[in-house]
Structure 1
Amino acid sequence: MEPKMGGFQFTCFRDADAKLSKLDRFLHNPCFLDIATNVTVTALPRELSDHCPILLSNCRRNFGSPPFKLFSSWMLRDGFEKAFITSWNSFVGFGTPDQYLATKLKHVKKGIKECRAANHPKEEANLHNHKLVVERLDHEAEKRNLTEVELEQRRYSFKKVAEIEKLKALDIKQKSRIKWAVDGDENTRYFHGYVNSNNRKNGIDGIMINGNWCTDRWY
């Protein structure tokens, strides 16, 4: 496997025919990612040589807080629409139209995050309780015939478990964006390696400014 490379796209420049090529590179096996989760490669300026020196690094540059991620499953959960409308209508701000909109979206983001932070523990507790009900009634069914009330209770709890697990699976699917995650393989080592690989590919470790590779945080 080859980590992504920043700085220059090519590492070799031959003056004779003005040919660019990528001859220098780092290769690693998948196990290396277990100990170097933030590995990146930077092609440094070639200066007097016809080859760029390449630098392997395992540190993540701090470019501020990560962007806000809105999961599609949140829109299917109870309370999301109310939290969005309340945050949208309660905002009071000023400034130019673009500044006003940006600040308003931050206010809405804060309201959604607070709603999710409050509802997530309740959802987990609800899932745990319904699983206990199904488990208890399954044990009872091995000893005796369940009553109609108990059967209805088990059907209801089983339905709620399936609904909550489906929403959690949607979150996993959105994180991974791979087909086999739908089949419930979210706990495999390959899955976590794939997600970490996507995070490395999507991360920004620097930016090219006037031919210079800049890794300093700036505004």
Structure 2
Amino acid sequence: MWDYLSFVAASHNMPWLIAGDFNELLTTDEKFGGVLECKSEGFRNWVDGNEMIDLGYSGPKFTWNNKRVYARLDRAICNMQWRRLFPEANVQHLPRTTSDHNPIKIKLSSRFVVSLHLRPFRFEAMWMQHEQFNEFISNVWGQAVGSALDKTYYLVQPLKGWNVNVFGHLKKRKACLLARLNGIQKDLCRGSNTFLSKLEISLIEEYNCVLEQEAMLWKQKSRLQWLQEGDRNTKFFHLTTIIRRRRNKIERLKNNEGVWVEEAQDIKGLAMAYFEQLFS
């Protein structure tokens, strides 16, 4: 089966997901009871060799049992392209009724969307690579009054404006630079032009700078500190950020009566009541 699935994976370069009863384990803690058979090596090697990602789950840990042995045999796994295409996709283990397997439900999006105006301010390390950043900070800091903490708070709103109006959106800047380079290189195919050649070099340097800033952005968001400075693997950092956000997202909470609460307002109320009681 693993050889056949490897053939399928090598036959295309598309986003893909495969789900169902694999009848195999990825880790030893996915089984409880009975004799632990080391059958997972082929499955694990296939997942690693084809760079597949387990979507995880919410709900009961095990998806199959015979009243004596419990195991997680059902799952959904995808490749990196699919995960980037559906960053909010998640898997829910549903209650078992007539079968000895739990049904699994794959949802492509989360029911909860965070409003942009509710997002906390984050200082972006990539800003420090901009040639105007130091001068901007010096000017704003000099206008602020009070303690260092007061001045730091004063920086927040000017930084937000500077980010939009001066630093700019990375994706738009990349698209604009590539469009300009495309036009210049088309013109240079018709004949040499000293001005366009120098402009091409300048734009390529600027484009590489944007790539470095983008890599730093996703490196900061991914919170991975173990890679050496200078490594640029934006897709990797982007993917780890998606996976971490998905893992940390709260879709439901259980109240004191043991009932799952799933509506956004009810989850908010339950969390507030818990901490009000905790700190009263």
Indicate the TM-score class for this superposition, using the shorter chain for normalisation. 0.5 to 0.7
1:24-47 C-alpha deviation (Å, 9 max, x unpaired) = 989741469887938699xxxxxx
Aligned CA distance change for structure 1 residues 60 and 137 (closer, same or farther; 3 Å): closer
Q: Which of the residues 158, 161, 167 maps onto 2:204?
A: 158
State the percentage of identical aligned residues. Answer: 15
Q: Which of the residues 156, 172, 175 maps onto 1:109?
A: 156
Q: Which residue of 1 aligns with 2:126?
A: 73
Q: Which deviates more, 71-80 or 163-172?
A: 163-172
Aligned CA distance change for structure 1 residues 29 and 129 (closer, same or farther; 3 Å): closer
| Contact 1:3–1:39 (8 Å) recurs in 2 | yes
Letter of the structure 2 residue corresponding to residue 138 of structure 1: Q
CA distance in 2, matches of 1:68, 1:135: 36
Q: Which residue of 2 aligns with 1:148?
A: 194
Deviation at 1:115, TM superposition (A): 1.0
Q: Which residue of 2 aligns with 1:169?
A: 215
Aligned CA distance change for structure 1 residues 193 and 134 (closer, same or farther; 3 Å): closer
For structure 1, which runs of at least 5 residues remain unmatched after alignment? 11-22, 42-55
Q: CA RMSD in A?
A: 5.1
CA distance in 2, matches of 1:40, 1:89: 51
Q: Which residue of 1 aligns with 2:138?
A: 85
Letter of the structure 2 residue corresponding to residue 165 of structure 1: L
Q: Which residue of 1 aligns with 2:246?
A: 200
Aligned CA distance change for structure 1 residues 69 and 151 (closer, same or farther; 3 Å): same
Aligned CA distance change for structure 1 residues 161 and 111 (closer, same or farther; 3 Å): same
Aligned CA distance change for structure 1 residues 117 and 29 (closer, same or farther; 3 Å): same
Deviation at 1:194, TM superposition (A): 4.0
CA distance in 2, matches of 1:26, 1:107: 54
| Contact 1:38–1:60 (8 Å) recurs in 2 | no
Aligned CA distance change for structure 1 residues 87 and 128 (closer, same or farther; 3 Å): same
Give the structure-2-normalised TM-score: 0.44
Q: Which residue of 1 aligns with 2:232?
A: 182
Using CA pairs under 8 Å that are at least 6 residues apart, name the structure with larger relative contact order, 1 or 2. Answer: 1
Letter of the structure 2 residue corresponding to residue 149 of structure 1: F
Aligned residues: 183
1:48-67 to structure 2, matched below 5 A, reads 60=112, 65-67=118-120
CA distance in 2, matches of 1:24, 1:159: 54
Deviation at 1:206, TM superposition (A): 9.2
CA distance in 2, matches of 1:76, 1:37: 31
CA distance in 2, matches of 1:131, 1:2: 34
Deviation at 1:182, TM superposition (A): 2.5
Deviation at 1:119, TM superposition (A): 1.5
